[in-house]
Amino acid sequence: MKKFIPFISIVAFALLFTGVALAAGVVPDCEFIGGVKGCNWTHIFGSNGIFNKLLVWITTTAVSVATLAILWAGIVMVTSQGNQSKYGEAKDLLWLAVKGLVVSLAAYLVIMTIIRFFVSGFSTF
CA distances from 34 to 18, 43, 46, 63, 74 (A): 31, 14, 18, 39, 55
What is the tens place of the pLDDT at every residue in 9-66? 666 666 566 555 555 555 555 555 555 556 666 666 666 777 778 888 888 999 999 9
The C-alpha angle 91, 93, 98, rounded to 5 degrees, equals: 95
What residue ranges do the domains of the chain occupy?
2-124
What is the tens place of the pLDDT at every residue in 106-121? 988 988 888 777 766 5
Q: Give the predicted TM-score (pTM) of the model.
A: 0.62
**Which of 72, 60, 76 minimizes the C-alpha distance to 24?**
60
How far apart (Å, rounded) are the C-alpha atoms in residues 106 and 95? 16
